[in-house]
């Protein structure tokens, strides 16, 4: 019996070691190579399992999304949270869903065609680089990104574009998630936003998952 327990503990320790090693290696690799999440993992990114550990209602509340907002989601992917935000802003609001990968947008388009999403009419899809946002200056109420900002090589450039399209008093909400290979500390995210000319309005959450909410005051 003692030997069995020891064997089980050894297996558990090996599994934990593999997971830790994988997290370390992927984080090192992602520091060197910056690229968006591949489309083939869209099924996992847009899963109920992910939403149980990173709930949409929590992200919406922390981001400050409200009825009637014109919201831009940068790096919408296959739409894990897009439909939830669309319902939150309501008929008077708009969600501009932007991604650089056509395969991801195709997955989101397919999702929107399903009967359970037939009530959603306020999502517009955009295939574009975040370096050149296809929106007029001062036209967006709120921009949000979920585990996207660290994937972008020139983060200063994208943050400058976000400032351009945001209205005065507009919000930028950046959400990060610890299991993500690109995960930065909230202090790192805050510093990047401040360097780009934003004011930190609040940091919500914990080490596991957090949202830094910035405000553009001028």
CA gyration radius for the chain? 19
Torsion of CA 11, 15, 20, 21, to 10 degrees: 90
- Per-residue pLDDT at 185: 95
Q: Do 101 and 189 have their domain in common?
A: yes
CATH number at residue 197: 3.40.50.150
State the total domains in the chain. Answer: 2
Q: Do 183 and 172 have their domain in common?
A: yes
Q: Do 163 and 57 have their domain in common?
A: yes
Distance (Å, whole) CA 95 – CA 88:
10
> Does the pLDDT at position 108 exceed 90?
yes
Q: Do 70 and 44 have their domain in common?
A: yes
124-143 pLDDT tens trace: 999 999 999 999 999 999 99
> Does the pLDDT at position 20 exceed 80?
no
Q: What mean pLDDT is reported for the chain?
A: 87
Q: Do 49 and 105 have their domain in common?
A: yes
81-105 pLDDT tens trace: 999 999 999 999 999 999 999 999 9
Q: Do 118 and 29 have their domain in common?
A: no
Q: Do 210 and 136 have their domain in common?
A: yes
Give the single-character DSSP code of 115.
G
Average pLDDT (11-18) is: 56
Average pLDDT (208-218) is: 95
Q: Do 88 and 6 have their domain in common?
A: no
Query: DSSP 3-state assignment of 140?
Result: strand
What is the C-alpha end-to-end distance of the chain, expressed in Å?
69
Q: Do 47 and 29 have their domain in common?
A: no
| Domain with 172 in it | 35-215
> Does the pLDDT at position 107 exceed 50?
yes
């Amino acid at each position: 019996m003692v030997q069995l327990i020891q064997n089980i503990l050894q297996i558990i320790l090996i599994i934990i070691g593999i997971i830790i090693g994988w997290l370390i290696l992927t984080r090192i690799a992602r520091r060197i190579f910056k690229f968006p999440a591949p489309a083939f993992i869209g099924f996992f990114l847009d899963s109920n399992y992910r939403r149980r550990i990173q709930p949409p209602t929590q992200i919406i509340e922390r981001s400050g999304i409200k009825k009637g907002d014109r919201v831009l989601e940068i790096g919408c992917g296959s739409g894990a949270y897009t439909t939830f935000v669309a319902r939150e802003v309501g008929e008077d609001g708009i969600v501009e869903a932007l991604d650089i990968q056509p395969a991801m947008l195709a997955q989101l388009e397919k999702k929107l065609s399903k009967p359970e999403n037939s009530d959603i009419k306020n999502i517009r899809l955009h295939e574009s680089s975040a370096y050149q946002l296809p929106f007029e200056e001062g036209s967006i109420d709120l921009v949000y990104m979920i585990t996207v900002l660290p994937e972008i090589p020139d983060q200063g450039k994208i943050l400058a574009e976000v400032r351009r399209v945001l209205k005065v008093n507009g919000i930028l909400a950046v959400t990060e998630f610890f299991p993500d290979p690109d995960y930065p500390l909230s202090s790192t995210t805050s510093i990047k936003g401040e360097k780009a000319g934003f004011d930190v309005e609040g940091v919500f959450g914990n080490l596991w998952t957090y949202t830094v909410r910035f405000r553009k005051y001028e």
